[in-house]
Structure 1
Amino acid sequence: MLCAPPDYAESHVADTDHPFAGLVSRLEANQTLSREDREALLHLPNKLRQLDPGTYIVREGDRPRACGVLISGFAYRQKVTGDGARQIIGLHVPGEALDFQNLFLEVSDHNVQMLTRGEIAEVPIEAFQKIALERPNVGRAILVTTLVEASVFREWVLNIGRRDSRSRLAHLLCEFALRLEAGGAARPDHGYELPMTQEQLADATGLTPVHVNRVLKMLEAEGLIVRNRRHISFPDWHRLRDVGDFNQRYLHVRDRATNGVF
């Protein structure tokens, strides 16, 4: 058995209360895991960290040493141009691993930051490498998870490159709703607390904050969204999907996770 380094601790609480319960559930959505596989994941050495918004979890140019699992809060991937312009290239919700993409790479080529205040469990990179190589079901689940992330990146390229501003924003709101729904955190008919500022929405859609504000007001005037501070709901979900040119196929979410809403 892999021994935990001095700063890491193994937890032995019930699966449903375990920090890695969400991770196991998400991996098992991609590949059937045995009881032994699940136990091995739950007993990965880890160190819990409470992080503030904006805290870097992965920095471009650094050698990967740990892979964080998001326990609570939200995180995002981003890259910065030479003159400092930021492009957000992906979002992460609770239960997701934040750095499977660097699991077998020598250096990180992008950044991961906390979007909100939250908690992560840091797992030594060698521990994830070991379980991926020694347990084929876990290894396949990690591979499929990484392939789905690549699929999401393709959709984001299409969103920024070919959809108009109204469709871009509607598409992002739809994606976030489905990913929260898949994790059991929200339903689109009830809406959710949008954790992104207008500046962050702008960096994710290739727009300016002023343009984002104008588009949100447009969607609101059309009866497609209702906003109450950060809470956002969707009176006409199917029409919003049409406006956003949204097809969830690229997320590869099994039907059982959508409860028929989508």
Structure 2
Amino acid sequence: MIRKLESIFVLTDDERQALETLPMQVVAIKENQDLVRAGDRPSRSCLVLSGFACTYKMTVQGKRQIVSFNLPGDIPDLQSLHLRVLDNGISTISPCRVGFIRHEALRDICDRYPRIASAFWRETLIDASIFREWVLNVGQREAYTRMAHVLCELLTRLGAVGLTQDHSCNLPITQSEFADALGATTVHVNRVLQQMRADGLIELKGDRLNIPDWEKLKRVGEFDPTYLHLEDYQAAA
């Protein structure tokens, strides 16, 4: 969590120490388990410590639209600190370790450290920025570009918390889950991934993703990391 926050906000030593002592209940959770559901009124927020999760919405007919992938360091339901009723679900997509932090503890640390409250606010604003980018991605880009863009985002966000190496990372996301995220069928996702392999854009071995040509993948995916508002990118700019 600290590494994630420091990728978008500069923390002081005191603020970092306060976050390190934040009380939480750590639970190991299997894949495909809901952490929260739409309509819940949670009294705690969940921090993804390891593994992958997703935020999703459901149609009346039972079709799922994944609206974001949740990575280690994310607090995907931080908005529940201020919104009483959740309007989305959050589910694991791989085995996860999740830290549950009671809202009283979050409110207390925000009262004692106003800049931590600003960091949390910035995180929720960036979540909204990612949602906007995903609306554009699903609504206006072709499936091939759509997939390249999501892969670029995942690699960049994982890199921000130190979980990539030489444009390579673990990616325990199934083709069915990509289909739910991209608004495509599983068959179409399979064809896109096969074509991306043939074009030398990606290498997939099990859950391991390698990007042989990062600049080419970014061009194909029309990927500009501005919407992620990462400190390192802003400093470089």
Normalized against structure 1, the TM-score is what? 0.85
Q: Which residue of 1 aligns with 2:118?
A: 140
Residue in 2 that maps onto 1:17: none
Pairwise CA distance, 1:228? 1.8
Match of 1:227 in 2: 204
Corresponding position: 1:83 with 2:61: yes
Counterpart residue number, 2:130: 152
Task: Note if 1:209 corresponds to 2:155.
Answer: no
Q: 1:245 aligns with which of 213, 222, 225?
A: 222
1:161-219, Cα deviation, whole Å (9 max, x unpaired): 000000000101111111111111103x4422221100000000000000000001111
Tell me by how many angstroms 1:128 deviates. Answer: 0.8
Q: Which structure is higher in RCO with an 8 Å CA cutoff and minimum separation 6?
A: 2
User: Identical aligned pairs, as a percentage?
Assistant: 39
Alignment of 1:1-262 (within 5 A): 23-187=1-165, 189-255=166-232
Cα RMSD (Å): 1.9
Give 4+ residue runs of structure 1 displaced > 4 Å after superposition.
Answer: none
Q: CA contact under 8 A between 2:49 and 2:97: conserved in structure 1?
A: yes
Q: Where in structure 2 are there 5+ consecutive unaligned residues?
A: none
Q: Deviations over 1:207-262 (max 9, x none)?
A: 0000000001111111111222332211121111111111111111122799x8xx
Residues 232 and 30 from structure 1, CA distance in 2 versus in 1: closer, same or farther, beyond 3 angstroms? closer
How far 1:84 moved relative to its partner?
0.2
* SS in structure 1 at match of 2:197: helix
Contact 1:31 1:137 in 2 (8 A): no
- Report the CA distance between 1:39 and its aligned residue: 2.5
Q: Deviations over 1:115-170 (max 9, x none)?
A: 11011111111211222233211000000011111100000000000000000001
Paired letter, 1:74: F
- Indicate the structure (1 or 2) with the bigger Cα radius of gyration: 1
Distance in 1 separating the partners of 2:11 and 2:194: 45
The one-letter code sitting in structure 1 at the alignment partner of 2:198 is A
TM-score normalised according to structure 2 size? 0.94
The CA distance in 1 between the partners of 2:183 and 2:143, in whole Å, is 9
Q: In structure 2, the residue corresponding to 1:112 is in which secondary structure?
A: strand
CA distance in structure 1 between the aligned counterparts of 2:93 and 2:48, rounded to whole angstroms = 11
Aligned residue identity for 1:92: N
CA distance in 2, matches of 1:235, 1:257: 25
